[in-house]
């Protein structure tokens, strides 16, 4: 060994030791820089037990913890290139499972492709890595491409979740959670979240705990269990602070933005969303910018402020997306009352609405958005189908996950559809449910919207049947039930029932209130 080679080997080993100390302190940016130094030196040292591919994988993990998805994936690819040249299946498998939990990013599809390649290179002598890669394959499958990406190995997540190796089990939880992203499977997602939390507590692993808690918050928000959300968020904040990973800091900021959005505190919500966007800048990943756009455009629709900018950015974002996804833009145009453009877009969208995959987490929020477009354009035919689709989710919040702003209780949109379809009694019950649900999660703006719709329904007079309207008019004139019965040729008991129904439908408690309502209708 030459003196220069000896010095290089010593420097490399020192850099590796220092990088591992930095990682233990969770100083991931420092660890990444030191690992880059070691990798630069590895080719200058004589053969040693330290392999370049292993250092690249260590660098990939460190960069991912530091929040830089693009650079982490670059290191994964460099490791995979070496694995291809040497036929190193285990190294390629390890490269395929470094990056986890990425959603709106091209990297997700690339990870999926690497999983397929790794499985082809692995053999059955390494069952642990095979199980990890199969679970990662399922977790990174696209709901927008084909069912087969989830069904390629339908038992992969089950096998992984029951594995003795904790990381394999954890990847299995990711796969199972991805399989049950649809709104109808919220109970399955809660069960998976509980198992991830239990694994994290048992193994003392913050990563497992954090993901389990995030999945619980997602599901609880959709179910409107806001008290539990607050408790889970407090625990998650403590764990994320301990982890010191910017991706988790971004996730926390987005959750806080969503909760403030629910309360109608839009300026504060935007501050937290802006913070998440700033923190995510170096990640070179689309997830946070996409969620930031969802938040800002949603607030623009609700407040009427910033609609022109929202239209421009959303239109650019949707340029190459399927037609059934254009409802996002159509809602912005409707808020600007550009009816002809909405009509043209809606006409193109409607034939493709059923193509929107139900297993996608965005399906529920897209369906409620489409409900507003049906009402805006008075499209009763589409409204009827949407009403049937949404009815099983009446007690849910219209939300994709804890980092996507809610559009309020699904019951609110069912009320709008029922009113459009000429079912005032059903509409009333839906709006009352929406008010109860919105108040239960401290979502004052959505409760106010439901009350406004309920008031419109009452003022329209459509809430009462023809006979009930006749009874209400006579009550307003000050007649007793006996006089009303004689006037309308009814029994007094029937009139009593009509008066009770009128009081219930109008949400009032006295005959004088019926009179006030009736006079208001005439004015």
CA distances from 81 to 56, 94, 446 (A): 11, 13, 52
Splitting the chain (523 residues) into consecutive groups of 10 residues, what average pLDDT does each group show?
60 92 95 94 74 96 94 96 94 96 84 94 87 91 64 56 85 91 93 96 96 97 94 97 93 96 95 94 82 94 93 91 84 95 94 88 93 94 96 94 91 94 88 93 91 80 76 92 90 91 83 83 62
Query: To which residue do tokens 């660098």 refer?
Result: 59
Angle at CA of residue 468, ends 463 and 471, nearest 5°:
140
Buried b (16+ CB within 10 A) or exposed e, 356-383: bbebbbbbbbbbbbbbbbbbbbebeebb
What pLDDT is recorded for position 141?
A: 86
Secondary structure percentages of the chain, helix, strand, coil, to 5: 75, 0, 25
CA distances from 294 to 260, 303, 467, 503 (A): 15, 14, 47, 42
CB 513 within 8 A of CB 506: yes
**278 vs 435: CA distance, rounded Å:** 36
Sign for the pseudo-dihedral over CA of 325, 328, 333, 335: positive
Which are the contacts of 506, defined by CB distance < 8 A and separation ≥ 6? 458, 463, 513, 514, 517
Q: Which of 43, 47, 55, 75 is nearest to 15 (CA)?
A: 55
Tokens of 219: 């599901």
Q: Which of 445, 450, 428, 401 is nearest to 502 (CA)?
A: 428
Buried b (16+ CB within 10 A) or exposed e, 488-514: eebeeeebeebbebbbebbeeeebeeb
Using CA atoms in the order 26, 31, 32, 33, what is the torsion angle rounded to 10 degrees?
140
Tokens of 332: 């912005």
- In this predicted model, what pLDDT tens digit does every residue of 287-303 receive, in sequence order? 889 999 999 999 999 99
Which are the contacts of 190, defined by CB distance < 8 A and separation ≥ 6? 215, 216, 219, 220
What pLDDT is recorded for position 125?
A: 80
Q: How many CB atoms lie within 10 A of CB 138?
A: 28
What pLDDT is recorded for position 207?
A: 96
Query: To which residue do tokens 């006409």 refer?
Result: 347
Angle at CA of residue 384, ends 379 and 389, nearest 5°:
125
Residue 110 phi/psi, 5-degree rounding, is: -70, -35
Tokens of 354: 């059923």
Residue 397 phi/psi, 5-degree rounding, is: -90, 145
What pLDDT is recorded for position 41?
A: 86
Using CA atoms in the order 261, 265, 269, 272, what is the torsion angle rounded to 10 degrees?
-140
Q: Which of 267, 269, 291, 243 is nearest to 102 (CA)?
A: 291
Query: To which residue do tokens 């009402």 refer?
Result: 375
Q: Name the strand (E) or helix (H) holding 495.
A: helix 492-506
What pLDDT is recorded for position 322?
A: 75
- Contacts made by residues 381-386, CB under 8 angstroms, sequence distance 24+: 382/350, 382/353, 383/417, 383/420, 383/421, 384/421, 386/417
**76 vs 111: CA distance, rounded Å:** 9
**62 vs 404: CA distance, rounded Å:** 28
DSSP-derived letter for residue 461 is S
Q: Give one DSSP letter per residue of 53-79, joined into a string.
A: HHHHHHHHHHHHHTT-HHHHHHHHHHH
Q: Which of 89, 21, 20 is nearest to 58 (CA)?
A: 20
Beta bridge partners of 409: 397
450: buried, middle or exposed (CB in 10 Å: 19+, 13-18, 0-12)? buried
DSSP-derived letter for residue 402 is T
Sign for the pseudo-dihedral over CA of 458, 459, 462, 465: positive
Tokens of 142: 């696209």
Query: What's the whole-model pTM score?
Result: 0.85
Alpha helices in 122-205 (DSSP H): 127-139, 148-151, 156-161, 166-179, 186-203
Q: Is 409 helix (H, G, I), strand (E, B) or coil?
A: strand
CB 348 within 8 A of CB 369: no
Which are the contacts of 275, defined by CB distance < 8 A and separation ≥ 6? 253
**31 vs 34: CA distance, rounded Å:** 5
What pLDDT is recorded for position 1?
A: 46
């Amino acid at each position: 060994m030459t003196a220069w080679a000896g010095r290089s080997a010593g420097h490399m080993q020192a850099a590796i030791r220092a990088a591992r100390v930095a990682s233990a302190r969770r100083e991931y940016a420092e660890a990444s820089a030191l690992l880059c130094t070691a990798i630069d030196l590895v080719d200058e040292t004589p053969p040693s037990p330290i392999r370049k591919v292993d250092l690249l994988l260590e660098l990939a993990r460190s960069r991912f913890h530091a929040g830089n998805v693009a650079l982490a994936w670059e290191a994964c690819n460099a490791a995979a290139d070496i694995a291809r040249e040497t036929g190193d299946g285990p190294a390629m498998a390890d490269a395929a499972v470094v990056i986890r939990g990425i959603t709106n990013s091209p990297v997700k599809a690339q990870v999926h492709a690497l999983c397929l390649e790794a499985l082809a290179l692995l053999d059955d002598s390494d069952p642990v890595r095979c199980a990890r890669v199969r679970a990662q394959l399922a977790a990174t499958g696209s709901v927008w491409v084909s069912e087969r990406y989830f069904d390629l190995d339908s038992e992969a997540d089950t096998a992984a979740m029951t594995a003795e190796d904790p990381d394999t089990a954890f990847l299995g939880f990711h796969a199972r959670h991805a399989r049950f992203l649809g709104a109808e499977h919220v109970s399955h997602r809660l069960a998976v979240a509980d198992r991830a939390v239990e694994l994290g507590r048992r193994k003392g692993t913050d990563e497992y705990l954090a993901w389990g808690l995030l999945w619980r918050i997602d599901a609880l928000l959709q179910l409107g269990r806001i008290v539990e959300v607050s408790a889970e968020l407090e625990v998650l904040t403590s764990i994320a602070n301990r982890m010191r990973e910017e991706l988790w800091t971004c996730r926390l900021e987005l959750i806080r933005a969503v909760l403030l959005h629910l309360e109608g505190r839009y300026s504060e919500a935007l501050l937290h969303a802006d913070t998440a966007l700033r923190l995510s800048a170096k990640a070179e990943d689309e997830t946070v910018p996409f969620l930031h756009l969802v938040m800002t455009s949603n607030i623009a629709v609700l407040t009427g402020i910033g609609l022109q900018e929202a239209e421009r950015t959303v239109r650019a974002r949707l340029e190459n997306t399927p037609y059934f996804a254009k409802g996002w833009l159509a809602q912005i145009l409707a808020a600007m009352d550009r009816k002809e453009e909405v009509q043209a877009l809606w006409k193109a969208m409607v034939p493709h609405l059923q193509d929107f995959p139900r297993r996608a987490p965005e399906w529920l929020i897209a369906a409620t958005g489409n409900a507003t477009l049906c009402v805006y354009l008075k499209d009763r035919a589409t409204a009827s189908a949407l009403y049937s689709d949404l009815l099983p989710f009446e007690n849910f919040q219209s939300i994709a996950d804890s980092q996507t702003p809610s559009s309020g209780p699904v019951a609110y949109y069912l009320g709008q559809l029922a009113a459009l379809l000429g079912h005032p009694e059903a509409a009333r019950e839906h709006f009352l449910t929406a008010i109860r649900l919105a108040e239960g999660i401290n979502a004052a703006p959505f409760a106010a919207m439901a009350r406004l719709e309920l008031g419109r329904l009452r003022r329209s007079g459509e809430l009462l049947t023809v006979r009930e309207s006749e009874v209400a008019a006579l009550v307003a004139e000050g007649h007793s039930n006996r006089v009303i019965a004689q006037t309308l040729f009814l029994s007094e008991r029937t009139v009593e029932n009509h008066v009770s129904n009128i009081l219930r439908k109008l949400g009032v408690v006295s005959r004088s209130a019926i009179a006030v309502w009736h006079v208001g209708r005439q004015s």
